[in-house]
Amino acid sequence: MSETPRGSTAKWWALGVLAMTELVIVLDNTIVTIALPRAQEELGLSDGQRQWVVTAYALAFGALLLLGGRIADYWGRKRTFMAGLLGFGLASTWGGLVQSGLELVTARGVQGAFAALLAPASLAMVTVTFPRGRDRNTAFAIFGTVAGAGSAIGLVLGGVLTEYASWRWCLLVNIVFVVIVIAGAVLLLGESKAEGDNRHDVGGAVTVTLGLGSLVYGFTLAEHGWGSADTILFLALGAALIAAFVVVERRVRQPLLPLRVVLDKVRGGVFVITAVMGSSLIGALLYLTFYFQLVLGMSPLVSGLANLPMTVVIFLCTPLATRFLGRFGPRPLMVLGPLISAAGLFCLLGITSEGNFWLQVLPGLVLLGIGLTMLFVPSQSLALAGVAPEDAGVASAVVNASLNIGGSVGLAVFTVIYANSFGAATRRGAVDVDAFTEGYRATFLAAGVAMVAAALVGYFLVRGRKEDLLPAWEDEDGADAVHAR
């Protein structure tokens, strides 16, 4: 069943509402990053709690996305979307009013849980609103660009709010977005959901959520040593639960994640690349922000503006990447994008404690913007190509889960790498700013190596053609093979 807008004007206004939702979800990954030094000082956060302000959101978001995607498919995408919006707004209000570090981490986790309802519902609605042709590619390019630029926009907006209002407004500002999106959703969005007798896969939901949570928590514990009993226990428990999830999904009649969604070679490659992109993007931007404020002494506002070149490059390059996609297909973008992003991260290895933004940072940001654009434009569309309408929500969830779980794991691993490098520098007698800088360089190196590995995945697995971007319900002549209605 689908009542999504079909008019040529209405569907583009609907895309605007959905894209704004994606912007809010993504920028909340980074908007608090700029505010963390101020929040840490006011609330007395430990360094571990500081990391968890970012990790709690990404972990809850990523771990619950599959369940959120199935709820959207079965309960109704607009209904799920509205429930997610209201919950997200309330959690943001709570986060802006907290009085302790534990409260802030908890509020961020609740935010992420409601974002797990919002994200798959909004992307699934884009899928059924734009079922074919050039409009579909354009819609996904816009949606992907907003997702890509959202991280950098969050850093700029966070800097402005922290500098001129309070770090708390980095959370309270979501209320404004939520009110606007609710009004637009009521007027412009129609309902759609999968038909039939749909039942939720409780066993799958429990095993995958606990499994992903255990894995990420295990990686965060690795800061105290990879060989520690707690680290090994949680990593092993996470792996066992994920294996149990696969067994459950093979046996239940209506699985939370139909394995056909992820076992496709091309789609699986895109999910892997998206996870690596999430780890590198979240980790690199977090530690670059710390470099700006703790080493170069930038204010929150200037620190946020320092990330603006990457956002500008993303917007400028999107039309070119979209045209490139239409002419050459997705594979060249999925190989060149990670390589150019890696080049940008390797450029950041030149940072020093004295610092020169124009020579040491700006070239890396420009290359990152180019590379990320080449990934954002095709990844959403390619990951959903060939997916049946009834699986649109869960496939959308896997895309977002890959990005956020990748970000959670990446941030945990990069924190371990940073801590080890910082500790080694201090043992050699380095002063704090030099030790900080050495730790940040180590994280950029690790992120760059990960992006090179992603390029190899793109080369060997992503062999999609232009025609492969067609949805499952459209044949090559443009006719509906399976109607979304």
The number of beta carbons lying within 10 Å of the beta carbon of residue 358 is: 7
Q: Distance between CA 256 and CA 77 in Å, rounded?
A: 16
Paired with 192 in beta bridges are 2
The three-class DSSP label of residue 474 is strand
Half-sphere exposure of 87 (CA within 13 A, CB side): 19
Q: Which amino acid is at 224?
A: H
Confidence at 299, pLDDT banded by 50, 70, 90: very high
Tell me the pTM. 0.83
Phi-psi region of 355 (alpha: psi -120 to 50; beta: other; left: phi over 0): left
Domain locations in the chain?
10-200+254-469, 201-253
Paired with 474 in beta bridges are 480
- Interval 110-162: pLDDT, tens: 999 999 999 889 988 888 888 777 788 788 878 877 876 787 788 889 999 99
Give the mean pLDDT of 158-174.
94
Query: How big is the chain, counted in residues?
Result: 485
- Interval 382-432: pLDDT, tens: 887 777 777 776 777 788 788 878 888 888 889 889 989 999 999 999 988
Residue with tokens 């798959």: 120
Task: Provide the terminal-to-terminal Cα distance of the chain, rounded to the nearest Å.
Answer: 5
- Interval 193-232: pLDDT, tens: 877 666 778 899 899 989 988 988 888 888 778 888 999 9
Q: Smallest Cα–Cα separation from 301: which of 151, 153, 162?
A: 162
Buried (b) or exposed (e) across 159-176, using 16+ Cβ within 10 A?
A: bbbbbeebbbbbbbbbbe
Q: Distance between CA 415 and CA 221 in Å, rounded?
A: 10
DSSP assignments along 322-382, one per residue: HHHHHHH-SHHHHHHHHHHHHHHHHHGGG--SS--IIIIIHHHHHHHHHHHHHHHHHHHHH
pLDDT at 204: 92
Architecture of domain 10-200+254-469: Up-down Bundle (1.20)
